[in-house]
Amino acid sequence: MKLLGKIPYFIIAGLAWIVIISSCANQGMPTGGPLDSIPPVLIGTQPVYKALNYKGEDVRLTFSEYIIPDEITETLVVSPPLTKKPSIRTKSKTLIVQFNEELLDSTTYSLDFKNSVADNNERNPLENLRFSFSTGDIYDSLRVAGRVINAFNLEPVESALVMLHKNLHDSAVHKVRPDFIAKTDQTGLFMIDNIPPGNYHIFSVNDANSDLMYNEGAEQIAFVDTIVFPLAEFHEEPDTLVKGVDSLLITGHTQFLPEPFYLRHFTEDIFEQYLDSYNRDTRYKCSFVFNESVEDTFKVRLVDSDVTDWYILEPNENMDSLTMWIADTLVAKTDTLVMELSYFQFDSLSQLYIQKDTLELNFIDKEDTSKKRRKQKGDEEEEAVPVPQFSWETNVSTSAFNLNKNIFISAPEPVKYFDSTRVNLYLADDTLKTALNFRFEKDTTAWRRYKLLFNLEPGTEYNLEIDSAACENIYGLTSKEMIKKFKTQEEDYYGTILLKITGVESQMLIQLLKNNDEEEIIVQKEIEEDANVIFDYLAPDKYKVKIVYDKNGNGKWDTGSYQDKYLPERVAYINEVIKVRSNWDNEKSWELKHDPTFYKNIRDLELEEQQKKRAEENARKEKEQQNNPQGGNNMFQGGSSGSTGSGVNIRRQ
């Protein structure tokens, strides 16, 4: 009886023990329920939506929950534009937009909040919120929509200002605030709504200084070269399914015209010449950088000196960066050189005149203390000074030299003469050193550089040799001997891209690009008719392909000009990243179409497949966790570590 009387206590103790063990094995914070994912709901407005004859000083929007007004101030676009920025505040669950000026009479106002209205809890945005009202007895409802992209790479332009001007004068975009405005979203899309009938010019600028005007040369611009006349057409659609009535039910839809615009942002090439920087890099070398090309306009002379032929000019490809090599050693020894630079400039009336700049360029040699220290020590004899020579620079690497590259050699300073017969190329395993026949010529794209043209064999070792003193520079220094042994890449290392291009109507530039944001051009080819374009000897990698409609046939992409009323040259892309594998040919067919709506959406199919597999694997693991939520913490499962003979896991605290 005594034992039976204690049974309830044993039961209570056992239950307590189970509670303690299970609580130790499943520690954690309460979840608090599912996250709020519902955006705020607009439940009331003052005035009402599309109100007429509204004379109030603010707009009030009431939501189903508290909202955060932080982003609204920067995002809200009011059209027609206001002179003063409206004040934004909240009162309970109501958003108040306070106008700080008198609104125009008989005008329909549109307020575009985009995605800036979000709830206070989880910041769920109310997407594409718009509100409108009229201060007169007419509600204007016409609209203009489209997309703004970068003309060079077709990337969407976010937060670009799109403007409608009633003033059709060419200078209006520079001097007059627009009549209606909108801003693009992250995909470049825009819509200007609540427009009255009329004739307009449409522009887009990046509006760097927020003055609602185009600042020539400092901002990007896009424009439509025709007058825009917005209108709306109602298209009736009789409902033949309605029965039991004498007449058909007429339904339909409203089509807004014109069709969406695709505006291409570009920077005008406005001639604005000035000397950007100058420097005396060494005793024999000066550099000058200009904002524009100085081709056929640049002159320089030494002030208070009659010396002539004292320098050699080395321009870059664009002729806007010049390196001056001082060839006269007496001039070079002068620590301070005073020069007068002359070049063309435009005055305020766009008339050419000669601009003259007087510059002072200094150079002081650093004292060489190494010999002085050795003399003070007195324990070393002076070494014989070797005859100075210069070393060649080359693009030749010891192994895996690309078969699609030319061999280049460059001198560090201008060359006086060069005996090219003392440059030799041999097969490395040719003990007799039989010289190979190659073409040697000066590179026209870079000063002081020469190239060897030879069809290199794959997987072959060569020796490139240049005899000592084969070349002498303008300072009397001869070249050192150079011996370079290198091996070419194996042919099966490379892959090929073959493009079958049709629909060619004029000159096109086909560009093979690196697969990065900079889109560096690797190879460019020109075609004027349907053709097969081959990019061969390509290293295994991922590439993009771009086409330029080379309208003027100058072999490069050209920007537009609002001054002269022409648009930038069009471009397009193959909307797929092309992966090149070793010893593999990639064939693509591309039919060119003049499509102003072309949308750049370059897909990396391999990356998408990898992401898909990762998502599937994560979903599988998540499902397993849901099916087995306790996992290894199930107190009734056996365990290898710290387990008792009864198969119960004991977790000590």
Q: What is the CATH number of the domain that holds 113?
A: 2.60.40.1220
Question: What is the Cα 555 distance to its own chain's centre?
Answer: 22
The CATH number covering residue 341 comes to: 2.60.40
If residue 173 lies in a helix (H) or strand (E), which one and from where to where?
A: helix 172-175
Judge if 506 and 599 occupy the same domain: yes
Judge if 486 and 499 occupy the same domain: no
Residue 649 pLDDT: 39
Q: Is residue 95 part of a domain?
A: yes
Rounded to whole angstroms, how far apart are CA atoms 4 and 150?
89
DSSP 576: B
The CATH number covering residue 594 comes to: 2.60.40.10
Residue 307 pLDDT: 92
DSSP 377: H
Give SS3 for 633: helix
Rounded to whole angstroms, how far apart are CA atoms 515 and 513?
6
Residue 627 pLDDT: 82
pTM above 0.75, yes or no: yes
Domain range enclosing 533:
494-603
Burial zone of 564 (CB within 10 Å; 0-12 exposed, 13-18 middle, 19+ buried): exposed
186: nearest Cα among 208, 215, 156: 156
| 301-347 pLDDT tens trace | 999 898 999 999 999 988 999 999 999 999 999 999 999 999 998 88
What is the per-residue DSSP string for 279-298? EEEETTEEEEEESS--TTT-
Rounded to whole angstroms, how far apart are CA atoms 491 and 427?
18
Q: Is residue 336 part of a domain?
A: yes
Judge if 503 and 580 occupy the same domain: yes
Judge if 161 and 222 occupy the same domain: yes
Q: Is residue 620 part of a domain?
A: no
Considering the chain, what is the average pLDDT of its residues?
88
Judge if 585 and 541 occupy the same domain: yes
Domain total in the chain:
5
Domain boundary among 465, 492, 519: 492
Residue 397 pLDDT: 85
Judge if 486 and 503 occupy the same domain: no
Judge if 525 and 480 occupy the same domain: no
Q: Is 217 in contact with 268 (CB distance < 8 Å)?
A: yes
Residue position matching structure tokens 């769920």: 124
Q: Is residue 36 part of a domain?
A: no
Judge if 435 and 516 occupy the same domain: no
Q: Is residue 384 part of a domain?
A: no
Q: Is residue 104 part of a domain?
A: yes
Judge if 130 and 149 occupy the same domain: no
Q: Is residue 459 part of a domain?
A: yes
Q: Give every residue of the chain whose pLDDT is below 50, as ranges.
A: 1, 3-4, 7, 10-11, 15, 18-30, 632-653
Judge if 352 and 422 occupy the same domain: no
Domain boundary among 430, 459, 492: 492
Judge if 85 and 173 occupy the same domain: no
Judge if 110 and 208 occupy the same domain: no
Q: Is 558 in contact with 513 (CB distance < 8 Å)?
A: no
Residue 17 pLDDT: 53
Residue 357 pLDDT: 95
Domain boundary among 134, 165, 200: 134
